[in-house]
Structure 1
Amino acid sequence: MNKKLALYAVPLLALSLAACSTDKDEKKEETKVEEPASDTTNDSSSSDSSSTDSSKDDSSTNEKVTEQPYKKMDLDVEYDKGDYTFEYEKKSDGDIAEIEDERDNTKKTGDEALGEMQPIVEKFTFDQNSSDEEVKKQIMDNIKIDDNYKSIKLEVKFDDGKEKEYKFVK
């Protein structure tokens, strides 16, 4: 009788322990998903889309944000009265950015620069095969560039390591 009890009790005990550890793992995963959504202050969407939107909302807090194919971007716009530059780089520990406008002596770094640049970079759809005109159109459509620019230079390093430079002179 004890042998029969042991044959049934051991597998049942193993299953119940496995079920307990799985529940804890699921609770940890649920907590991880819910934490970013609770930190967002601008998200007013339903809870179904909050986990999707949370990666975008975290962009202003130095998180890795975009799924764009750009590893690094350096943009220089030359004007008569000074240059406008923006630098953006995806890193494994978070994106970094810097914006400098010599025309009005402003410089933004960290979260402030990321908050301004990430929505712009996310709108870019060009890739290595895009024409220069398409790249120029996207730059002009998404970045506030005054019509009196002298030149625009964009250096892009794509996720696959390939680099491309675009230069537009007025």
Structure 2
Amino acid sequence: MKNVKWLAIPMSMLLLAACGNDDEKVKDKPKDAPTEQNESTTDNNATTNNGTTDNADNNANNNAVSNANASFDFTHFSLDVDYSETKSFEVEYENEQSGVEASIEDDINGDNSYGDEAYERLEPIFQSFKFGASTPEDEVITEVLNVFNLRDDYTELELEIRFTDGTEKEYHNRK
């Protein structure tokens, strides 16, 4: 009986971890938002009888057109701005084939939102961004702070962006 008790705790934790956090899921996924492609898609090239490759190449072309017309130029956006040990501003956005997740955790104003509510707040902000993968780091940081209306007296800023062309950028600034 004692062994059963010791197994119950780890099994419960495993079950909870497998459930994930559905609070951040966006239920009304925007049709024109760029989606990160599943890596297995590019490995599924099928050759037809006439020797041409279809499926993966066609999907890649369709996705490139779709992403070119998208609202914003990234599929992942993670921002963490620390002002003190207890005050920070965090944004998480990820759009994958499995779904969209969005969250805003604003310890400064005590204003947190998740899922559809967070996405509705983030969409116009993301659409206003003018930077791209080749924009210098200081310009990206300045624009992000300005658009989110954040003070520049932070102690640390971390920003990770995965652009639709596959470029991943990490911006880090500590004061």
Q: What TM-score results when the alignment is normalised by the length of structure 2?
A: 0.56
Contact 1:64 1:95 in 2 (8 A): no
Query: Aligned residue for 2:80?
Result: 76
From 161, 164, 170, the equivalent of 1:159 is 164
CA distance in 2, matches of 1:106, 1:121: 19
Given residue 102 of structure 1, which amino acid in structure 2 is its aligned partner?
D
Return the offset for 1:131: 0.6
1:22-41 alignment, distance < 5 Å:
none
Flag the structure with higher helix content.
1
Contact 2:145 2:151 in 1 (8 A): no
Question: Which shows bigger deviation, 112-121 or 142-151?
Answer: 142-151
Contact 1:76 1:84 in 2 (8 A): yes
Return the offset for 1:139: 0.6
1:45-124 alignment, distance < 5 Å:
61-66=28-33, 67=70, 68-80=72-84, 81-92=86-97, 95-124=100-129
Give per-residue Cα distances to partners, 1:42-90, cap 9 Å, x unaligned: xxxxxxxxxxxxxxxxx99432344222010100000113221101122
Give per-residue Cα distances to partners, 1:12-55, cap 9 Å, x unaligned: xxxxxxxxxxxxxxxxxxxxxxxxxxxxxxxxxxxxxxxxxxxx
Q: Does 1:148 align with 2:153?
A: yes
Query: Aligned residue for 2:19?
Result: none
Residue 96 of structure 2 aligns to a residue in which SS?
A: coil
Among all aligned residue pairs of Structure 1 and Structure 2, give the percentage whose two residues are the same amino acid. Answer: 31
Residue 95 of structure 1 aligns to a residue in which SS?
A: strand
CA distance in 2, matches of 1:70, 1:138: 16
Q: Which has the higher contact order (CA 8 A, sep 6+)?
A: 2
Query: Aligned residue for 1:129?
Result: 134
Alignment gaps of 5+ in structure 2: 1-25, 34-69
Q: Which of these two proteins has the greater Rg computed from alpha carbons?
A: 1
CA distance in 2, matches of 1:92, 1:63: 12
CA 1:147–1:89 in 2, change beyond 3 Å: closer, same or farther? same
Contact 1:64 1:92 in 2 (8 A): no
Given residue 165 of structure 2, which amino acid in structure 1 is its aligned partner?
D
CA distance in 2, matches of 1:78, 1:152: 6
